[in-house]
Chain A
Amino acid sequence: MIQIPLRYTPNPVRSAAGGMSRAHVCTDRHLDRDVLVKELQDGVEMRRLSDEIAALASIRSKHVVQLYDVIRDVSGNIVGIVEEYLPGDDLNSIIPLDDLEKFMRIAFAIACGIADIHSAGRIHRDIKPGNMKFDAEGCLKIFDFGLARAASDEAATRGAVGTDGYMAPELCVDDLDEARFTQAIDTYAFAATILKLIRGSLPVSLRRVPPTTDAQADFTLQPLVLPQDVAALFNRCFATYPHQRPAMADVRDLLGAHILRDRHRATMIALGHAYELNASKRGVNITLGQLGTLRLSYDGLHFGIVSASGQVFVNNVQVQVPHRLPGACVITVGGPEYGPKRAHITVDVSHPEVVL
């Protein structure tokens, strides 16, 4: 065991075990709060700890655990790190999930976290339910960056590193061969993680070396019925070729859109009258005098023009009806020949903000 500075008093009541390093819950006497002190284990390269420090320090995300301090030995070598302590159990304690709304929110939070890690130019390399927890405010946090690597480094490693069942096919090479990888390995591990959240355990096919995907790993065939486009995107996360997997930002955005399903609101102002569309009022007819009628609708995700008499322009661009609205815009009915008699309808689209 390393020599922990006096500032950090071991807290005997709590204990924790990390993947690559040993972890101790301590009380930071300067700030009177619990912290996690992780020490480098014998025989594990120093590189892993410095990788974790570089990774944690470079990512600014509310979904990534906060790093506070490092611990050095007498010769000045880094032998441990001090980070935010999260009480409670990891994500394995909540599986299987059978509530779609809860599942979508958790999957969205995980996707947000991985997208943040990727936008900081990092690869986590060990995404799995055991490396995620909720903090006291219900915010999902990803930890154990012991294997994290900068995406710009020569991302290659000897032999397979990671956790069985979560490792993308390109990581499964013989011990002496070099495995080359990209951020897409986290995307693959994300899919395995959420599959475990739904099923409670990973199918045998994913544990094979190299892994394969069969019906049990097909998101369209799970006990929890997912929206079709979500299931299809999740399936693409398991693509054999890394470049065929979606970017995590795209996964995040699709999940975010579904969380807001039926929660949008559009306010239209036409000829001084206000109209509204929302989940309980999905269609509206706006009468425009001699220009006829404009019909708008809401399908739970988007607003659209269903029908109109005469030419229709959105933000001054003529469109073919039916037409999906781009968000806040101005709809104009009537061609330029109507001059000042054209009708302008301002549309303002808003929604509750999902702050996780």
Chain B
Amino acid sequence: MTMHHAGEVIADRYEVVRFIGQGGMQEVYEAQDNILIRRVALKCPKTISANRRFARSAATAAKINHANVAKTLDYIPDTAHPFLIEEVVDGCDLSEFMKEHVPTLDPYSCAQVIHRLAKGLAASHHAGVVHRDIKPSNIMVVGGAAFTDVKITDFGIAKMAEVELDHAVNGGEEALTQSATALGALPYMAPEMIESFTDAGRAADVWSLGAMAFELLTSKKPFGAGYRAVPLIQAAVMPTLPRDQAPKAQFAALTNQIYDIIRTCLSRDPSVRPTADGLVTQCEALCYSDARRQYGFVDSFNHRDDGFIRTDSGGSVFFHQNSVPYGRVEIGQRVWFSRHHGAPRDRAFPVVRAR
């Protein structure tokens, strides 16, 4: 049961269109701004106790202005029912993208995502804002399945959840498993956040970005999930790339560069990690292709290692197993790829598994 319904008009201006989803602390709706005639995202806290922190978290987020951070547009300071109005992102969050569309990104798109998120994070750190809850469900994917850009959202949400998180992380296994918010955040939490959530600073965001990048590259959380992740995070032993995911020749150099960046982000000592600016500088040196992606499925094989992909738009493109970053794809496999001109058919490169 949601708190608001379609058609409801808030502050004589925002008309609720539909319920989008909810996190531990707030509900999110899509609404129509009847004054500026545009779609917006409307957020409201789920509990009265969260309301106090809501205004501060809104003002915190409003200080950041960057293309890779969802923009704060307005705030309705109603004591009983405050609302935050944000730029709407037509798409889904990164957690949903990995669950529903592409579980493991190729190193090119992975590099691009890390680069853009590092830019967004650098802008927020310049504005003096620490996110403290960087995780896939707080990253919006513009275009959803089409994946055209990424934006960090929910700055200040960690402030709202601070008490709950601190209690859960320090309360042992039972307290932790009772808090959905803490369980969701834990795999991306820096060691110093586990010791004292409230004291965590900018370097904790860099850790979280690194942990998330590892998952994008391998579809595995670097230290696992649940309570058993706690000692592993505290030990901060950088996990190796899964053996069955060793990149093929074409992808090895970039994969290793990304892995090295992730390793510095996951340093136990916060002062050894790169700053967000330092991360941007490292990403600027990465070479990747930004060709648009599309979907299809493996249709047939020509020889043992090459064959054809039937695209969702109806055509057929050539591909080779060497263009799949690791492993093989078989007939019927759904894939995500970029398309390059060729004859008699275009050529797909790179090709990764999709759902």
A32 proximal to B (CB < 8 A): yes
Chain B residues whose C-beta falls within 8 Å of the C-beta of A223 in the assembled complex: none
Chain A residues whose C-beta falls within 8 Å of the C-beta of B74 in the assembled complex: 30-31, 68-69
Chain A residues whose C-beta falls within 8 Å of the C-beta of B289 in the assembled complex: 327-328, 348-351
Known pairs A31-B59, A69-B74, A137-B123; A267 contacts B250 (CB<8 A)? yes
Would you list which residues of chain B between 101 and 115 have a CB under 8 Å from chain A? 108, 112, 115
User: Between A and B, how many residue pairs show CB distances below 8 Å?
Assistant: 119
B3 proximal to A (CB < 8 A): no
Determine whether the beta carbon of B119 is less than 8 Å from that of A346: no
Known pairs A67-B36, A70-B35, A330-B347; A352 contacts B341 (CB<8 A)? no
Q: How far is the CA of A352 from the CA of B77 in the complex (A)?
A: 43
B73 proximal to A (CB < 8 A): yes
Determine whether the beta carbon of A355 is less than 8 Å from that of B287: no
Q: How far is the CA of A267 from the CA of B63 in the complex (A)?
A: 42
Determine whether the beta carbon of A329 is less than 8 Å from that of B347: yes
Determine whether the beta carbon of A264 is less than 8 Å from that of B249: no
Consensus secondary structure, chain B interface:
mixed
A62 proximal to B (CB < 8 A): yes
Would you list which residues of chain B between 308 and 355 have a CB under 8 Å from chain A? 318, 320, 322-323, 338, 340-347, 349
Q: How far is the CA of A355 from the CA of B108 in the complex (A)?
A: 15
Chain B residues whose C-beta falls within 8 Å of the C-beta of A135 in the assembled complex: 65
Q: How far is the CA of A346 from the CA of B351 in the complex (A)?
A: 14
Would you list which residues of chain A between 312 and 356 have a CB under 8 Å from chain B? 314-317, 326-330, 346, 348-353, 355
Closest to A57 in B: B36
- Chain B: residues with Cβ within 8 Å of the partner, total of 54
Would you list which residues of chain B between 47 and 78 have a CB under 8 Å from chain A? 58-59, 62-63, 65-67, 71-77
Smallest beta-carbon distance A344→chain B, Å = 8
Range for the number of chain A residues in contact with chain B: 35 or more
Chain B residues whose C-beta falls within 8 Å of the C-beta of A84 in the assembled complex: 65
A257 proximal to B (CB < 8 A): no
B80 proximal to A (CB < 8 A): no
Determine whether the beta carbon of B58 is less than 8 Å from that of A137: no
Q: How far is the CA of A269 from the CA of B250 in the complex (A)?
A: 7
Known pairs A31-B59, A329-B342; A352 contacts B285 (CB<8 A)? yes
Known pairs A315-B343, A326-B341, A355-B115; A272 contacts B249 (CB<8 A)? yes
Chain A residues whose C-beta falls within 8 Å of the C-beta of B112 in the assembled complex: 353
Q: How far is the CA of A314 from the CA of B66 in the complex (A)?
A: 41
Determine whether the beta carbon of A57 is less than 8 Å from that of B37: yes
Closest to A268 in B: B250
Determine whether the beta carbon of A316 is less than 8 Å from that of B287: no
Determine whether the beta carbon of A355 is less than 8 Å from that of B36: no
Smallest beta-carbon distance A57→chain B, Å = 5
B292 proximal to A (CB < 8 A): no
Across the interface, B342 reaches (CB within 8 A) one of A32, A33, A316, A350, namely: A316
Known pairs A137-B66, A346-B320, A355-B115; A327 contacts B340 (CB<8 A)? yes
Would you list which residues of chain A between 254 and 268 have a CB under 8 Å from chain B? 263-265, 267
Chain A residues whose C-beta falls within 8 Å of the C-beta of B323 in the assembled complex: 346
Across the interface, B65 reaches (CB within 8 A) one of A137, A265, A274, namely: A137
Closest to A54 in B: B37
A25 proximal to B (CB < 8 A): no
User: B: which residues have CB within 8 A of A?
Assistant: 35-38, 58-59, 62-63, 65-67, 71-77, 108, 112, 115-116, 119, 122-123, 126-127, 249-250, 252-254, 284-291, 318, 320, 322-323, 338, 340-347, 349
- Give 18 CB contacts A-B under 8 Å: A33-B59, A62-B67, A68-B73, A70-B36, A137-B123, A264-B287, A267-B253, A315-B341, A327-B291, A328-B338, A330-B342, A330-B347, A346-B250, A346-B349, A350-B287, A351-B289, A352-B286, A355-B115
**Given A31-B74, A348-B250, 14 other A-B contacts at CB below 8 A?**
A57-B36, A66-B71, A69-B36, A136-B65, A137-B66, A137-B123, A139-B67, A264-B287, A265-B287, A267-B253, A316-B343, A317-B342, A353-B288, A355-B119
User: A: which residues have CB within 8 A of B?
Assistant: 30-33, 53-54, 57, 62, 66-70, 84, 135-137, 139, 263-265, 267, 269, 272, 274, 314-317, 326-330, 346, 348-353, 355
